[in-house]
Chains A and B, each alone.
Chain A
Amino acid sequence: MEYVIEMLNIRKVFGNFVANDNITLQLKKGEIHALLGENGAGKSTLMNVLFGLYQPDGGEIRVKGKKVNIANPNVANDLGIGMVHQHFMLVDTFTVTENIILGSEPTKGGQIDIEKAEKEVRELSERYGLAVDPKAKIADISVGMQQRVEILKTLYRGADILIFDEPTAVLTPQEIQELIQIMKALVREGKSIILITHKLKEIMEVCDRVTVIRRGKGIGTLNVSETNPNELASLMVGREVHFKTEKQPPKVGKPVLEIENLVVKDSRGITAVDHLNLTVHAGEIVGIAGVDGNGQTELIEAITGLIKSESGSIRLNGKEIRNLTPRQITETGVGHIPQDRHKHGLVLDFPIGENMVLQTYYKEPYSKRGILNFKAIYDKARQLIQEFDVRTPDEYTKARALSGGNQQKAIIGREVDRDPDLLIAAQPTRGLDVGAIEFIHKRLIEQRDKGKAVLLVSFELDEIMNVSDRIAVIYEGKIVAIVDPKETTEQELGLLMAGSKRKEAGVSS
């Protein structure tokens, strides 16, 4: 059997930390090979070694049987290895073609030969069924299209081996299906793909083989046809994992959050939330499903006071809180797990302990007459770190040094501990592994069972379906449908999220 890439016994050490401990990954020609592991398991390190961003401390890499030394990404490019990054690296104001040729522009007499480039891009796009318009501006095309531009970029540079880094994290269900078709078309044309993911469903659907790594160690390589999600999950986490979060039927109480005719403009002055109505009751979890950019962010920021809204009403327990300051709203009883934990959730350069009192530092016992009481602060921090299983060397470690999952657990601990009547969780599990996701879902349901109202915003339909008691679908700033998760399907939700009316979606209302 011919391997196009062989990473044999790769070892990579950072200080005292072994990120990759003799991991072996062999990629066959024409296969889609999943690299599965929790966050921090060493997937990215391994791929960065392959892409030339890190030098391995041990082991060897062979490309098409020949031993190679990938000193930098240019060498990787020359060897035909291309990476489709999770965070797109595109210039918004440039066209598709301009972005693709950036760095290797074809020239004619000192000028860029844009026509030739456009022709090549169009040919590539047609060959692999990407349907990308070479002349479109990046700013004008959807996230899914932008990802295809990233794929085209690697193909244009002649890549035979494509590494996809968590490609589905930003896509709608329909876009994910399309991406799967594209990946299949790519391997049909003789390309080989490494898919970095922690989504088991995708692996089952599209991959031929899967290599599982856990805490830096290679656990093994399996044929996808001979395994199942449960086995993969327990291999990845090292213990049994429950997918369906167990929950009792909700005991719905009085309305906690009542939003009426809310209008919010985004930073460019365009109406993002358009006369939106929504009620969340005590003891229920309302999930907001929608494609990114349909007003979710603005809705949450308006509720929490981070941005001002134009008109309408937001009541918490009957009290009007619209356009109060974030502190007033926090004190009224709103907890907020923000979408971007690095931007809003944490002061990364503060110790994790000081981050635990970000909204309460001015209250007793954390301070008295303006003087901080570090003993009380760190006592609290220790308690939360233990209670919420935040894995950190100690409470004095900077938040920056923690892994994403542990940062998120710290934020959730802080928000839940304030015992808010309304807990807003925006993308609470983004980028986290199954173990952490399970933990976070349990905590959200725990809040619900304590009679709190929970508003969950997520782009992961699994999460919405799994955790919510009611699902509100948001489209272009409006709630277009409220559905019962037990009576809906991903297909129906996907169509509603894309703007179809309920009837078209084949549902009688």
Chain B
Amino acid sequence: MSENRLTNILVPVFAVILGIIAGAIVMIVSGYDPIAGYSALLYGAFGDRYYIGETIRQVTPYILAGLAVAFAFRTGLFNIGVEGQLIVGWLAAVWVGVAFELPKVIHLPLAIIAAGAAGALWGFIPGFLKARFRVHEVIVTIMMNYIALYVSNAVIRSVLSDQGFKSEKIHPSASLRSEFLQSLTDYSTLHYGIIISLIAAVVMWFLLEKTTTGYELRAVGFNQHASHYAGMNVNRNIILAMVISGAFAGIAGAMEGLGTFENVSVKAGFTGVGFDGIAVALLGGNHAFGIILAAVLFGALKVGALEMPSAADVPTELVDIVIALIIFFVASSYLIRLVLTRFKKEGK
């Protein structure tokens, strides 16, 4: 047991270290100084109050996206649709933020709930199709991503603006921004969303580990036949898992719409946060607290990388390659697991 747990912690740590080494090799081969590059990365992520604020802001949607992927995964479903659920959540949050003028205690929660509901709806559709017709959720969620992207763009153009490229700014009563947090972090874009995402992590942990609902979801995830035998409604649980997963993703969108940007604009492509959520969940071992740590790493990489071109002359393309390498090694953690077990065997 404890040996397993140790492996579970060692694997992601090794993955990150390998990714960093591989990134360094790429930098050396391309004629750049990896030490300067990584110093810039580190400085850009945690170097001063402003950077720390930016990193935390970036970590916020990553946590929620990671939770969304992990929640479905624990129930045996692969939700590739977090990106789309995030986009509709973002749209719904901004819509509520723009369309109403209410006291903050009502307006802000309402906007977040709207985002969660939109994401949940976007998750319900593949969940329902899976439960009712056994349509594979991966296919449906991928397609739902495109539907979300283009529907959202169309709504922004025709409803939220007059053929413009972005919506109006949301009313302050729906905003997550805080002057206090901004002043604390040298006017970064840090907002209260981080608290919501941390609460969401606790909610996910509690729901899965401590409730009968979570017991059912986990049972269905591990063994549908035994769950059916035990009298659980397998189809209901599949739908429920996708709905809750979608709600997490939708709230991730609200973080962007109500906090980071305070509006929603026409997107040429995906935000990538939803897809990174898959890697975050994977690295975090699909566990709520592991996901927080993984999200911190991803947020730090993303924000810190912005510093690499200016401080270490590493071109942005190379930065993207280095980040991709780290993700690659995380995603191929199976390989690392294999090497570790082999190593252990031979040690004996």
A358 nearest in chain B by CB position: B230
Q: Are A371 and B231 in contact, CB atoms less than 8 angstroms apart?
A: no
Q: Among residues 107 to 152 in chain B, which have CB atoms less than 8 Å away from a CB atom of chain A?
A: none
Q: Kindly list chain B residues whose C-beta atoms are within 8 Å of the C-beta of A338.
A: 229
Q: From the candidates B210, B218, B229, name the one contacting A350 in the complex (CB within 8 A).
A: B218
Q: From the candidates A325, A354, A372, name the one contacting B231 in the complex (CB within 8 A).
A: A325
Any B CB within 8 A of the CB of A468: no
Any B CB within 8 A of the CB of A135: no
Q: Kindly list chain B residues whose C-beta atoms are within 8 Å of the C-beta of A362.
A: 212
A327 to B232, CA, bound (A): 7
Q: From the candidates A306, A349, A359, A371, name the one contacting B222 in the complex (CB within 8 A).
A: A349
A343 nearest in chain B by CB position: B225
Q: Are A371 and B223 in contact, CB atoms less than 8 angstroms apart?
A: no
A346 nearest in chain B by CB position: B226
- If A348-B223, A350-B222 touch, does A372 touch B212 (CB 8 Å cutoff)? yes
Q: Kindly list chain A residues whose C-beta atoms are within 8 Å of the C-beta of B213.
A: 370
A350 to B219, CA, bound (A): 8
Any A CB within 8 A of the CB of B228: yes
Q: Are B211 and A347 in contact, CB atoms less than 8 angstroms apart?
A: no
B214 nearest in chain A by CB position: A372
Shortest C-beta distance, B237 to chain A (Å), equals: 13
A367 to B212, CA, bound (A): 7
Shortest C-beta distance, A200 to chain B (Å), equals: 33
Q: Are A361 and B212 in contact, CB atoms less than 8 angstroms apart?
A: yes
What size tier do the contact residues of chain A reach?
20 to 34
Q: Mark A307-338, 1 if CB is under 8 A from B, else 0.
A: 00000000000000000011110110000101
Q: Are B211 and A370 in contact, CB atoms less than 8 angstroms apart?
A: yes
Any B CB within 8 A of the CB of A255: no
Any B CB within 8 A of the CB of A431: no
- If A343-B225, A349-B222 touch, does A359 touch B230 (CB 8 Å cutoff)? yes
Q: Kindly list chain A residues whose C-beta atoms are within 8 Å of the C-beta of B7.
A: none
Shortest C-beta distance, B241 to chain A (Å), equals: 16
Q: Mark B241-269, 1 if CB is under 8 A from A, else 0.
A: 00000000000000000000000000000
Shortest C-beta distance, B329 to chain A (Å), equals: 26
Any B CB within 8 A of the CB of A345: yes
Any B CB within 8 A of the CB of A344: yes
Q: Among residues 178 to 200 in chain B, which have CB atoms less than 8 Å away from a CB atom of chain A?
A: none
The A-B contact count (CB < 8 A) is: 68
Q: Kindly list chain A residues whose C-beta atoms are within 8 Å of the C-beta of B228.
A: 306, 326, 344
Q: Are B212 and A347 in contact, CB atoms less than 8 angstroms apart?
A: no
B211 nearest in chain A by CB position: A370
A207 to B126, CA, bound (A): 59
Q: Kindly list chain B residues whose C-beta atoms are within 8 Å of the C-beta of A331.
A: 231
Q: Are B226 and A358 in contact, CB atoms less than 8 angstroms apart?
A: yes
Q: Are B211 and A372 in contact, CB atoms less than 8 angstroms apart?
A: yes
Q: Kindly list chain B residues whose C-beta atoms are within 8 Å of the C-beta of A325.
A: 231, 233
A339 to B241, CA, bound (A): 29
Q: Kindly list chain B residues whose C-beta atoms are within 8 Å of the C-beta of A345.
A: 226, 229
Q: Are B215 and A354 in contact, CB atoms less than 8 angstroms apart?
A: yes
Q: Are A372 and B226 in contact, CB atoms less than 8 angstroms apart?
A: no
Shortest C-beta distance, B239 to chain A (Å), equals: 17
Q: Are A371 and B210 in contact, CB atoms less than 8 angstroms apart?
A: yes
A436 to B162, CA, bound (A): 76
Q: Are B226 and A347 in contact, CB atoms less than 8 angstroms apart?
A: yes
Any A CB within 8 A of the CB of B39: no
Q: Kindly list chain A residues whose C-beta atoms are within 8 Å of the C-beta of B211.
A: 367, 370-372
B206 nearest in chain A by CB position: A371
Q: Are A336 and B229 in contact, CB atoms less than 8 angstroms apart?
A: yes
A440 to B225, CA, bound (A): 24
A400 nearest in chain B by CB position: B222
Shortest C-beta distance, A336 to chain B (Å), equals: 7
Q: Are B231 and A326 in contact, CB atoms less than 8 angstroms apart?
A: yes
Q: Kindly list chain A residues whose C-beta atoms are within 8 Å of the C-beta of B215.
A: 354, 361, 367, 372
A190 to B7, CA, bound (A): 51
Shortest C-beta distance, A501 to chain B (Å), equals: 36
A338 to B1, CA, bound (A): 28
Shortest C-beta distance, B331 to chain A (Å), equals: 22
Q: From the candidates B1, B227, B231, B233, name the one contacting A347 in the complex (CB within 8 A).
A: B227
Q: Kindly list chain A residues whose C-beta atoms are within 8 Å of the C-beta of B232.
A: 327
Q: Kindly list chain A residues whose C-beta atoms are within 8 Å of the C-beta of B210.
A: 371-372
Q: Among residues 243 to 289 in chain A, which have CB atoms less than 8 Å away from a CB atom of chain B?
A: none
A340 nearest in chain B by CB position: B225
Q: Kindly list chain A residues whose C-beta atoms are within 8 Å of the C-beta of B227.
A: 347
Q: From the candidates B214, B219, B222, B231, name the one contacting A327 in the complex (CB within 8 A).
A: B231
Q: Kindly list chain B residues whose C-beta atoms are within 8 Å of the C-beta of A328.
A: 231
Q: Kindly list chain B residues whose C-beta atoms are within 8 Å of the C-beta of A372.
A: 210-212, 214-215
Q: Are B222 and A358 in contact, CB atoms less than 8 angstroms apart?
A: no
Shortest C-beta distance, A135 to chain B (Å), equals: 36
Q: Kindly list chain A residues whose C-beta atoms are within 8 Å of the C-beta of B348.
A: 15
A78 to B218, CA, bound (A): 47
A306 to B227, CA, bound (A): 11
Q: Are B226 and A343 in contact, CB atoms less than 8 angstroms apart?
A: yes
A385 to B25, CA, bound (A): 55
Q: Mark A298-311, 1 if CB is under 8 A from B, else 0.
A: 00000010100000
Shortest C-beta distance, A43 to chain B (Å), equals: 23
Q: Among residues 295 to 348 in chain B, which have CB atoms less than 8 Å away from a CB atom of chain A?
A: 348
Shortest C-beta distance, B73 to chain A (Å), equals: 13
Q: Kindly list chain B residues whose C-beta atoms are within 8 Å of the C-beta of A370.
A: 211-213
A15 nearest in chain B by CB position: B348
Q: Kindly list chain B residues whose C-beta atoms are within 8 Å of the C-beta of A326.
A: 228-231
A347 to B218, CA, bound (A): 9
A409 to B204, CA, bound (A): 34
Shortest C-beta distance, B169 to chain A (Å), equals: 41
Shortest C-beta distance, A324 to chain B (Å), equals: 10
Shortest C-beta distance, A374 to chain B (Å), equals: 8
Q: Which of A328, A338, A354, A371 has the most CB of B within 10 A?
A: A371
A367 to B209, CA, bound (A): 12
A328 nearest in chain B by CB position: B231
A341 nearest in chain B by CB position: B226
B213 nearest in chain A by CB position: A370
Shortest C-beta distance, A351 to chain B (Å), equals: 10
Shortest C-beta distance, B224 to chain A (Å), equals: 10
Shortest C-beta distance, B197 to chain A (Å), equals: 23
A306 to B225, CA, bound (A): 9
B215 nearest in chain A by CB position: A361
Q: Are B226 and A359 in contact, CB atoms less than 8 angstroms apart?
A: no
B207 nearest in chain A by CB position: A370
A13 to B219, CA, bound (A): 33
A349 to B227, CA, bound (A): 13
A359 to B1, CA, bound (A): 26
Q: From the candidates A304, A358, A367, name the one contacting B219 in the complex (CB within 8 A).
A: A358
B218 nearest in chain A by CB position: A350
A506 to B212, CA, bound (A): 57
Q: Kindly list chain A residues whose C-beta atoms are within 8 Å of the C-beta of B233.
A: 325
Shortest C-beta distance, A191 to chain B (Å), equals: 36
A-B residue pairs, 3 tightest by C-beta = A327-B231, A358-B230, A344-B229
> 22 A-B Cβ contacts within 8 A?
A15-B348, A304-B229, A306-B229, A325-B231, A326-B228, A326-B229, A336-B229, A343-B226, A344-B228, A346-B223, A347-B222, A347-B223, A349-B222, A350-B219, A350-B222, A358-B226, A359-B231, A367-B215, A370-B212, A370-B213, A371-B211, A397-B1
Where the two chains meet, the residues of A that have a C-beta atom closer than 8 Å to any C-beta of B are 15, 304, 306, 325-328, 330-331, 336, 338, 343-350, 354, 358-359, 361-362, 367, 370-372, 396-397
Sample of 17 more A-B contacts, CB < 8 Å, known A347-B226, A350-B218: A306-B229, A325-B233, A327-B231, A327-B232, A331-B231, A336-B229, A343-B223, A343-B226, A347-B227, A348-B222, A361-B212, A362-B212, A367-B215, A370-B213, A371-B211, A372-B214, A396-B1
